Amino acid sequence: MIELQRIEHSFKLGRKGGERLVPVLRGIDMNVYEGEIVTLIGRSGSGKSTLLHIIAGFLHPTAGQIRIAGQDTTGFSEGQWADFRRRHLGVVFQNFQLIPSMTAFQNIELPLVLQGVPEGERRKRTMELLERLGMAEYAEHYPSELSGGQQQRTGIARALVLNPPLLLADEPTGSLDSDNESQFLQLLQSLNREHGITLLVITHDDKVAAIGNRTIRIEDGRLPDAADSRRMEAAQR
């Protein structure tokens, strides 16, 4: 589902003319196979969120090649990425990124509106997700009227409304209390088990990492156990 080859990324620091490159990712090789839950764990600053943003097309790698669902996405334009995300992947952000002026229903419905789905079908699919995630009674609530757990469920519903085969989650439990965290992790596992969605979950938390079929550790922009991961992948195949 995801194939990364020698991915590198650097940020520029300093003023124009005196800029210097600061490497964040240093030759990442990583595969995620269809139907897996893979957790990528690392401390703050290890490069894990940068890697997820590259996989999702929000950042472009300095070097390397990316293939997702069999397509080489390395050189995609912004427009190509937007179309590809609509068809192939959903993203759950740590800070939810809900639109405050829209209700929970409208936030979830928005990707369908952008895709031109007819109103009746939009309402059907949006309400099905709200009910499935225990959010039906909060459909007309605005983000400021929702708890952290309810906002997170709204965010994951929006990521799922286009039925993506791949879901990326960036520190998805960072703003949740322990009860909501446990419920959310169970939800991720049920999405994988019952609907076959492939999951890549970025975290710094060992409890979150434990839901994965495989856990990959990232340190200082490298995968120190990459050789062990390749051996595990070979054994799974």
Q: From the CB of residue 172, how many other CB atoms can be counted at a distance below 10 Å?
A: 27
Fill in the amino acid letter for 227. Answer: A
User: How confident is the model at residue 97, as a pLDDT?
Assistant: 86
What pLDDT, on the 0 to 100 scale, is given for residue 231?
Answer: 47
Q: What residues are paired with 167 via a beta bridge?
A: 90, 199
- In this structure, the strands spanning 166-170 and 63-68 are unpaired
Q: What is the pLDDT of residue 31?
A: 96
| Fold topology of 2-12+24-236 | Rossmann fold (3.40.50)
Q: What is the CA radius of gyration of the chain?
A: 18
What are the tens digits of pLDDT across the range 106-115?
999 999 998 8
**Could you tell me the pLDDT band of residue 227, with boundaries at 50, 70 and 90?**
very low
Distance of CA 30 to the CA centre of its chain: 16
Sign of CA dihedral 109, 97, 76, 216: negative
pLDDT score at 234: 54
**% of the chain at pLDDT higher than 70:** 93
Sequence spans of domains, the chain: 2-12+24-236
Give the distance from CA 182 to its chain's centroid.
Answer: 18
pLDDT in tens, 162-194: 889 999 999 887 767 787 788 888 888 988 998
